[in-house]
Every structure is written in structure tokens, then in C-alpha cells.
Amino acid sequence: MTEAAVPAAPKQRETVTVTLAEPIQRAGGDITAITLRKPRAGELRGLKVEDLFATDINTLIAVLPRITSPVMAAHEVEQLEADDLLEVAGAVKGFFMPEALKVAVKAQFGG
């Protein structure tokens, strides 16, 4: 008798955690770090990926509530300091980089 093939465990979605230089104030506890998960197609619905690469603020305000933990409301995303927003935007862009490019960037800049 042959053994049934065991399905592979689902691949974990890629995540990046960004520690905020300036916490977002929220009732029940400030947000000091945001974990971003690689977006799926449905989370990009109605958006243009080119706008993410261009660091379009309106596109970031739309996508971040869909991919952050803790979940952030749009008005909380709007409270991000500019340097925090740019770091978060860079993390989002990183999700779209080919693996070879990620390896090259790490080799060049560390991390």
C-alpha cells in the first residue's frame, strides 16, 4: 500500500516590522511599531502599483490599513511622521523586489 502525499504547509506571508520614531496615539495604547504583510491582489484592488513605487501618499493611505498589524485606520496613517511614512513606504516597495535584488541590497548595505 502506498502512503498518501502529505500536503506542504502553506508558505508564511512575508512581513516587515517598522519601529516608529514617533508613536501614533491611540486610545487603549499608542502604536510604537507596525508590522506590514506582503499584500495580495485583493488588498491592492483599486490601486496602481506604480503609485506605490512613486510613494504616492493617497495610495499609501489606502493600502496601509489593509496590510498593517495592528490594523491602522486611514486617519492614523495620516498621523505618521514623514520619516516614518517613508520607511513604511520603503518596506512596502521591498515586497515587490525580486529575491535576487533583495539579496544584492542586503550584501551592499547589510541587514
Please state, for a pLDDT cut of 90, what percent of the chain lies above it: 71
Q: Which domain holds residue 55?
A: 33-109
Asked whether residue 16 is domain-assigned, the answer is no
Asked whether residue 19 is domain-assigned, the answer is no
Q: Encode pLDDT of 21-70 as tens digits.
A: 999 999 989 999 999 999 999 999 999 999 998 999 999 999 999 999 99
Asked whether residue 80 is domain-assigned, the answer is yes
Asked whether residue 61 is domain-assigned, the answer is yes
Residues in the chain, how many?
Answer: 111
User: Is the confidence at residue 73, as pLDDT, over 80?
Assistant: yes
Number of domains in the chain: 1
**8-18: b (≥16 Cβ within 10 Å) or e:** eeeeeeeebeb
What mean pLDDT is predicted for residues 73-89? 96
Q: How far apart are the first and last CA of the chain?
A: 49
Which pLDDT value is given to residue 5? 67
Strands (E), the chain: 15-24, 31-37, 68-69
Asked whether residue 44 is domain-assigned, the answer is yes
Asked whether residue 17 is domain-assigned, the answer is no
Indicate the pTM of the whole model.
Answer: 0.80
If you ran DSSP here, which 8-state letter would residue 43 be given? Answer: G
Q: Which amino acid is at 37?
A: R
82 backbone dihedrals φ, ψ, rounded to 5°? -55, -45
